[in-house]
Structure 1
Amino acid sequence: MTRDLPGDLWKKLTSTVGLVVTRHDGTVNVMAAEWATFVNKQPLYTAVALGPRTASRRRLEAAGEFSVTLCAEGQAALADFAGSFSVTDIDKTGSDLVRLGTPEATATPWVTGGVLAVECRLRETVALPSHTLCIGEVVAAHLPDEAPRPLVKHGGMHTLGAPVRRTDVVAAAQLRPDGTLRVAATGPAAEARAPWQVTLLPPDGPPVRLGAHPPTPHGDLLADLPLPPAVPAHGLRVRVERGHATPGTATVSAPRPAPTTGAPR
């Protein structure tokens, strides 16, 4: 650990490159934004962080709208090109790789061929020390007939690998102020409807089964269970199992003190 932050620490971020299109003064420009993401679900907002010398920031603010295309893996060359030149250098839309779609809710076109394209109306700008965060509300979305795999930016540009195969149950347990035991766990989605098995592991003595418990609507476990009267409340651990997954274990933590009136939760 160091207090001297490396200058390229931001390259540890993993993201999907966004192609940001602006339309202003009768001209259209496309630029690549490595920091493009959704920041609100309902209504759906997206945000792009634009640097201080980016001409698209001024164009975007003047137009009050923009579009973002999340790049597919086949658009690595286009993302590199769009991020290498400014609209003040050249009209990038003349490239054969820049294919623009017709907007439906704004006057700003969008780049076709990506994982997703959205038209946005600018709702807010947030001035950061070097960059400006431009936040827009999504007012139209364009999805391809067949979803391509995304282009992944992590330092360099990468393709998306195979899905991670989850095999482990992850669990936590905590005593509640009323003396019950709250147990939470997640596990492989393939067994999302199977019941959860919870077992107490006292520091001295044999394991104590606390039975089978149904999953939540999301397939997880969140249950408040009574402690058997003969089991001491200190030094406890739990084991949570489901199906063929590797069981999860956890130390039972002490109950949190009740919040005082007006205290934040």
Structure 2
Amino acid sequence: MTREVPGDLWKRLTSTVGLVCAHHDGVTNVMSAEWSYFVNKQPLYAAVVLGPRAATGRIVEAAGEFSVTLCAEDQAGLADFAGSFSVTDIDKTSSELIRLGAPEATATPWVTGGVVAVECRLRQVVPLPVHTMYLGEVLAAHVPDRPPRPLVKHGAMHTLGGPARRTAVVAAAELRHGGMLRVAATGPALDGPQEWRVDLLDADGTPTPLGAHPSARYEDLLVDIPLPAGLKTHRLSDHRVVVEREGAEPGFTGISGTGR
């Protein structure tokens, strides 16, 4: 292990390539921006981070708006092309792979064929030591009836694999004031009743049932459970909690707040 920061550490990030479109004074440009994100929910904001040599940034600032399309997996070649040339090199919109959609809330067109495209009003420019972040409020969104799978950038460009398979409950437990045991847990999504069974395990693994509890918001578990009568809280340091749900492997946790 080392404390040094590798120069290519940023490539460890996984993201979806954005195709940023900027339009002003008769010039329309499309460029690739690996760092394209949604950064606020209400109102919805999109952020794109551009390098110091990107002419697109100057166009965005002059226009006060931009659009960004999050690439679909079949747009890898287009993402590479749009990131390889500047608007000062060539008019990239002449490529037959770049099909522009008509704007509805701004004057800036958007690249079709992606997972989603949004039209944004520029709200803030954030200078960074090298790059610049452009924050835009989303004024219109263009979502295909059947959104394609996203292009995934993780060093190289990848297609998206299958869903990550979750099989086990993940749990945590904390001793709260008044002798209450707070238990939190998540687990794989299941059909049917969302009921969680909680047991307290002593040092020998002998269980003491703490009841069955319904799911909280988002089908997770968050519950405060009274400790069994006569159980001294100072003895909990050698106990564990197990949380079970039908169809998933049980989750085990220690108990914080007990001096463990």
- Please give the alpha-carbon distance, in whole angstroms, between the structure 1 residues aligned to 2:255 and 2:159: 41
Q: 1:54 to 1:250 in 2, by over 3 A?
A: same
What's 1:263 paired with? Answer: none
Shift of 1:232: 3.3
Q: Secondary structure at the match of 2:254?
A: strand
1:246 aligns with 2:258: no
Q: Percent identity?
A: 68
1:101 maps to 101
Q: What is the deviation of 1:172?
A: 0.1
- Following TM superposition, by how much is the alpha carbon of 1:158 offset from its aligned partner in structure 2, in angstroms? 0.3
Q: Give 1:200-215 correspondences, 5 Å limit.
A: 200-204=200-204, 206-215=206-215
Question: Mean Cα displacement is larger for which, 3-12 or 102-111?
Answer: 3-12
The gaps in structure 1 that reach 5 residues or longer are: 257-265
Cα distance between partner residues in 2 of 1:61 and 1:192: 52
Deviation by residue 1:31-52 (Cα, 9 ceiling, x = unmatched):
0000000000000000000111
Q: Distance in 1 between matches of 2:215 and 2:101?
A: 44
Distance 2:59 2:226 in 1: 61
Match in the other structure for 1:151? 151
Q: Indicate whether 1:186 and 2:203 are aligned.
A: no
> In the TM superposition, what is the alpha-carbon distance from 1:191 to its structure 2 partner?
4.4
Q: In the alignment, is the contact (CA less than 8 A) between 2:16 and 2:153 conserved in 1? A: yes
CA shift, 1:223, in A, is 0.2
Task: Identify which range, 69-78 or 205-214, moves more after superposition.
Answer: 205-214
- Report the AA paired with residue 240 of structure 2: R
Which residue does 2:80 correspond to in 1?
80
Q: Which residue of 1 aligns with 2:31?
A: 31
Q: Match for 1:250: what amino acid?
A: T
Conserved? CA contact 2:190–2:247, under 8 Å: no
User: What amino acid is the match of 2:252?
Assistant: T
Shift of 1:204: 4.8
TM-score, normalised with respect to structure 2: 0.96
Whether the 8 Å contact between 1:195 and 1:242 is mirrored in structure 2 is: yes
> What does residue 90 of structure 2 align with?
90
Distance 2:49 2:93 in 1: 21
- Note the residue ranges of structure 2 that are not aligned, 5 or more in a row: none
Q: Is the 8 A contact 1:192 1:215 kept in 2?
A: no
Deviations 1:192-249 (A, max 9, x none): 7420000001225721001100001311000000001233322221000000201000
What's the counterpart of residue 45 of structure 2?
Answer: 45
Does the residue aligned with 1:10 lie in a helix, a strand or coil? helix
Question: For the residues of structure 1 that align with 2:162 and 2:204, how far apart are their CA atoms?
Answer: 44
Residue 11 to residue 217, structure 1, CA distance change in 2 (3 Å) = same
Q: Residue 229 of structure 1: SS of its match in structure 2?
A: coil
Alpha carbons of structure 1 residues 243 and 136: separation in structure 2 relative to 1, 3 Å: same
Task: Report what 1:132 is aligned to.
Answer: 132
Query: In 1, distance between residues paired with 2:56 and 2:5?
Result: 29
Number of aligned residue pairs? 256
Q: Which amino acid aligns with 1:247?
A: P
| Residue identity in the other structure for 2:220 | D
| 8 Å CA contact 2:22, 2:108 repeated in 1 | yes
Structure 2 distance, partners of 1:126, 1:193, is 47
Amino acid in the other structure paired with 2:95: S
CA distance 1:102–1:139, change in 2 (3 Å) = same
What's the TM-score once normalised by structure 1's chain length? 0.94
Q: For the structure 1 residues 205 and 172, does the alpha-carbon distance in structure 2 shift closer, same or farther, using more than 3 Å as the test?
A: closer
* Partner Cα separation in structure 2 for residue 193 and residue 27 of structure 1: 57
After TM superposition, where is structure 1 displaced by more than 4 Å over at least 4 residues in a row? none
1:183–1:192 CA distance, 2 compared to 1 (3 A): farther
Q: Indicate the SS of the match to 1:52.
A: coil
Q: Partner of 2:224 in structure 1?
A: 224
**Distance in 2 between residues matched to 1:13 and 1:134, nearest whole Å:** 19
